[in-house]
A and B are shown apart, each in its own frame.
Chain A
Amino acid sequence: MDWSPLYISIKTAAVSIIITFFLGIYLARWASRLKSGKIRLVVDGVLTLPLVLPPTVVGFFLLFTFGVKRPVGQFLVETMGVKIVFTWWATVIAAVVISLPLMYRSARGAFDQVDQNLLYAGRTLGMSERRIFWRVLMPAALPGVAAGGILAFARGLGEFGATAMLAGNIAGKTMTLPLAVYSKVAAGDMDGAYQYVGVILLLSFGTILLMNYFTLREGRTGKRRRAK
């Protein structure tokens, strides 16, 4: 069995979740601070779109953006000599774009539920905005943010459509686990497909366990608070 799809999948999921996690939190904080309700509605829509669109369509738009003949792709090649399409970085970009809405929405929900008075109290006490964010807002929103992060990680791990469009299916380079399953089945190698499916099952179940751990922990502290 070729272990490279597992290795590529984990590497892609790991790098993309770091980007998704911080970008999602940043965007959530930014969006929940927008003053105009209309602009917030549009921003929310745009950031949620990749969740609703078929992944192949998202991949299509990404190709449209990063193709070497396209402005952004051309710019990257000419100034930095970086080609995105059909390289490993393409798997990361696809995973980030597809999983970002989950992270963004979870984080925003978690931030919006934090008692605003906590933030106001921090301000009147003279705490800097940065300090309030890390010491007050993030700890209070952490269970929701963490659950969103795990959800986004799982989605990135299972990403297929957009990855196939932007990164192709190059063995040892861009072939992630879902793509490997597809390739094996397409080639009629069901035994090979079983093995990859087994690996994915284990990974996914582990993720769910982790997520439950976080959400159940949140429930426990909630109950304790109510009981007092």
Chain B
Amino acid sequence: MSLQVNLQKSLRDFTLNVAFEADRDVMGILGASGCGKSMTLKCIAGIETPDTGRIVLNGRVLFDSKEKINLSPQKRRVGYLFQNYALFPNMTVRQNIGAGLFLPREDKQSRLSELLRLFQLEGLGDRYPRELSGGQQQRVALARSLAAEPEMLMLDEPFSALDEYLKENLQNEFIRLLESYEGDILLVTHSRDEIYCLCREAVVLQEGQVAIHAPVKELFRAPGNLAAARLSGCKNLSAIKKLGDRTLRALEWGVVLETEEEIPEGIGYVGIRAHDLVPAGAGTGKNWIPCHNPRLQEALFEQVMLFTAREGQREALWWKGSKEYWQDEMKEQVPEGFYLPPECLMLLRES
């Protein structure tokens, strides 16, 4: 167990109450903006002080409200990559990376050269941050954080300041650069793609509370609760009434559905991903919903259809499929309805 976090802090709109453990891995913190993600990182880094709680890193107590321990950020050895990178504008790349490097002059120079090479910044050492591209700035910030040899690294929305088309390349690049780093990594983001690509485990925060803590694969397969399902990108959600061990009525869609697994106690919602809906005719029988008021949208690589299953439905249902499927299989015709495969239904608790 290398990082244990348990902290409470009352904020203006809600109370932050976060507890989790991370163990030698990339851990994701997923949440909508303003849910307390950045505040959690700041508390771990020692920039903000929690009201109560305890933070332990590799057996070292960084903060303990009961024992009145509160190490300064300087002593915590926690790296922090800021959303805007926070590069010192008055310093060159070399000086920026060297800011957290306290070594004798010669050792420092050779270490700096090594870091510049490692992060593909050769030849940029004497430039100022404003003269660099977004990706280069990100590499400088990462090199600067790692130069100080932190015991763990926290990344606050590392890709949000970058252009969309750069992101995918940079994510691969990023993974490569972080492979050699041995400490824990906390990645904060509101993007489910980044969590899915980069993390093995994730914590979902909602209004300052841990809504769920699970391995990422599981989080996306069976999110468990409503907030996690929304954040994992599930668009079709409905409140339910349980009818039997394996049958329920989706109140929002006005249909009876059969599920593959037995419905446990406390399940209040059902969800299905837009890609999992199967176009089907009216004769399909069970788990079929009609398609009313279809609206077509063409996305870059996909065909999207919004529709309702009953009159007066508030939120539209989403179907997504590949363009080939839409053109070749469906002949660009709106189907009579959709089949909801029982194995694709996600059973969700309210919180």
B80 lies within 8 A of A128 (CB): no
Task: Kindly report which residue of chain A lies nearest to residue B82, judged by CB atoms.
Answer: A117
B77 lies within 8 A of A126 (CB): yes
Complex Cα spacing A135 to B90, Å: 8
B74-104 contacts to A, CB under 8 A, are: 74, 76-80, 82-84, 86, 88-91, 99-100, 102
B89 lies within 8 A of A117 (CB): no
Given contacts A126-B74, A126-B100, A139-B90, contact A120 B130 (CB under 8 A): no
What does the 1/0 interface line of A111-133 toward B look like (CB < 8 Å)?
00001011011111111100000
B89 CB contact (under 8 Å) in A124, A128, A140: A140
Does B173 belong to the interface (CB within 8 Å)? no
A124 lies within 8 A of B84 (CB): no
Does B47 belong to the interface (CB within 8 Å)? yes
Does B263 belong to the interface (CB within 8 Å)? no
Does A38 belong to the interface (CB within 8 Å)? no
Among A125, A128, A228, max chain B CB count under 10 A is at: A125
Per the CB 8 Å criterion, the residue count for chain A at the interface is 19
Does B131 belong to the interface (CB within 8 Å)? yes
A122: chain B residues at CB < 8 Å are 88, 99
B86 CB contact (under 8 Å) in A118, A126, A128, A228: A118
Does B208 belong to the interface (CB within 8 Å)? no
Task: Kindly report which residue of chain A lies nearest to residue B95, judged by CB atoms.
Answer: A135
Does B148 belong to the interface (CB within 8 Å)? yes
A174-228 contacts to B, CB under 8 A, are: 224-225, 228
A85-128 contacts to B, CB under 8 A, are: 115, 117-118, 120-128
Task: Kindly report which residue of chain B lies nearest to residue A128, judged by CB atoms.
Answer: B74
A128: chain B residues at CB < 8 Å are 74
Min Cβ gap A143→B in Å is 11
Complex Cα spacing A224 to B46, Å: 34
B88 lies within 8 A of A123 (CB): no
A123 lies within 8 A of B90 (CB): no
Does A136 belong to the interface (CB within 8 Å)? yes
What does the 1/0 interface line of B114-156 toward A look like (CB < 8 Å)?
0000000000000000110000000000001100101000000
What does the 1/0 interface line of A122-164 toward B look like (CB < 8 Å)?
1111111000000110011000000000000000000000000
Task: Kindly report which residue of chain B lies nearest to residue A115, judged by CB atoms.
Answer: B86
B145: chain A residues at CB < 8 Å are 124-125
Task: Kindly report which residue of chain A lies nearest to residue B149, judged by CB atoms.
Answer: A126
A124 CB contact (under 8 Å) in B76, B83, B91: B76
B130 lies within 8 A of A225 (CB): yes
Complex Cα spacing A125 to B150, Å: 8
A115: chain B residues at CB < 8 Å are 84, 86
A224 CB contact (under 8 Å) in B45, B77, B86, B130: B130
B100: chain A residues at CB < 8 Å are 125-127
B99 CB contact (under 8 Å) in A117, A127, A139: A127
B89 lies within 8 A of A225 (CB): yes
Task: Kindly report which residue of chain A lies nearest to residue B132, judged by CB atoms.
Answer: A228
B130 lies within 8 A of A228 (CB): yes
B144: chain A residues at CB < 8 Å are 121, 125
Complex Cα spacing A135 to B72, Å: 19
Complex Cα spacing A117 to B86, Å: 6
Given contacts A124-B78, A128-B74, contact A136 B45 (CB under 8 A): no
- Using CB atoms and an 8 Å cutoff, list the residues of chain B in contact with chain A: 42, 45-47, 72-74, 76-80, 82-84, 86, 88-91, 99-100, 102, 130-131, 144-145, 148, 150
Q: Could you show 15 A-B contacts with beta carbons less than 8 Å apart? A: A117-B82, A120-B80, A120-B82, A121-B86, A122-B99, A123-B73, A124-B45, A124-B78, A125-B145, A126-B74, A126-B148, A135-B88, A135-B91, A139-B88, A228-B131
5 nearest interchain CB pairs? A125-B100, A123-B73, A139-B90, A117-B86, A121-B86
